[in-house]
Amino acid sequence: MVKHHGVPFLEKKQMELIVNKTNKNDIVKILGSPSTTSKFDTDLWIYIERKQTQSNLKNLGKLKILENNVLVLEIDNYGLLKKKEFYNKDNMNELKLTKNITGQDFKKNSFIYDFTSSLRQKINDPLGQRAKKRKEINQR
């Protein structure tokens, strides 16, 4: 089963777009409306195509990317295509996440352990009466 998102056959369709010749109406006719737009000095239109399929049973049905294409079009103030950039799956950056796990640093000899122990002791016996009684019992 293949899941498809965005403009189908984006790589082939983008070949029909010619810089400084194609206008906004031609772009909409060929590709349809853009996936997202941005307007600063010039219009920036972004088209996306993504195809995914479920991988083997050993990967528990995890989705595998077949195609991941992005087309970035820059359009000038006159409505003409000024710049065209096409990115495919090979241009994607592979992000590597670390597997390190942060451990607990509350050991018996640490400052935090000593501080919380003394705080706990003061909360349980604010006047220090228990320590005096223990000292008297140990001296007998």
The count of C-alpha atoms lying within 13 angstroms of the C-alpha of 122, restricted to the half-sphere facing its C-beta, is 6
For the cut 90, the answer to whether the pLDDT of residue 80 exceeds it is yes
d(CA 70, CA 90): 11
pLDDT tens digits, residue range 40-77? 766 899 999 988 887 666 566 677 778 888 999 999 88
**pTM of structure:** 0.59
Q: How many CB atoms lie within 10 A of CB 92?
A: 11
Distance CA 27, CA 112 (A): 64
Instruction: Report the pLDDT value the prediction gives residue 22, as an integer from 0 to 100.
Output: 92
Tell me the helix, strand and coil percentages in the chain, rounded to 5: 30, 30, 40
Exposure class string for 18-48: b at 16+ Cβ within 10 A, else e:
eeeebeeebbeeebeebbeeeeeeebbbebb
**How far does Cα 9 stand from its chain's mean position?**
26
**Region of residue 33 (left: phi > 0; alpha: psi -120 to 50; beta: else):** beta
Q: For the chain, list the domains and their CATH numbers.
A: 2-91 (3.30.1450), 105-140 (no CATH)
